Amino acid sequence: MEARVPVEDLELGGQRYALDPPDPAARIDVVRALSGLHLRLRASAELVGPCWRCLAEARVPVQVDTAEFAADGRPADAPFDDDLDSVYLEDRRLDVGTWLRDSVVEALPATILCREDCAGLCPSCGTPRADGCDCAHENTDPRWSALEEIAERLRREGGH
């Protein structure tokens, strides 16, 4: 069965992200077997929100293809078992929206970037490095200053 599944916005690292489209077309397969229900969910969309480095809009394609299983004949008071129960199936109702949202999060890359080579923001003025800035950047780490002083003293003393 194919259906449009509305998905709530996500909050990651304090930032809000949304799917485009907000109700992606999803393919849901439910197969009854002797042992229980085999469930499969497939969908694709783009996650839209701020880049983790420069805060510009990032659009990350997401492909979901996931499966769940719910065993038949489980006692009502049986403790939850990841192998036999599905958190998305309760009282014969499948919560496809929550399942899709959770699956999108699992399918995301390690970092959400506007482009692969995003250089982030200037640490001095906050301008995106791709746009350039007029700040005078000091490229040396202040922890090396003691060695720079020694090198300067050697130059003055006629060393090298």
Q: In terms of Cα–Cα distance, which of 12, 1, 2 is closest to 106?
A: 12
pLDDT tens, position by position, 116-127: 999 888 887 888
**Mean pLDDT confidence for 99-121:** 93
Question: What pTM was computed for the model?
Answer: 0.75
Confidence tier at 159 by pLDDT (50, 70, 90): low
- Mapped onto helix, strand or coil, the DSSP state of residue 156 is helix
pLDDT tens, position by position, 18-72: 999 999 999 999 999 999 999 999 999 999 999 999 999 999 999 999 999 999 8
Report yes or no: 69 and 39 within 8 Å, Cβ to Cβ: yes
Residues paired with 61 in a beta bridge: 46
Token look-up 């958190």 returns 87
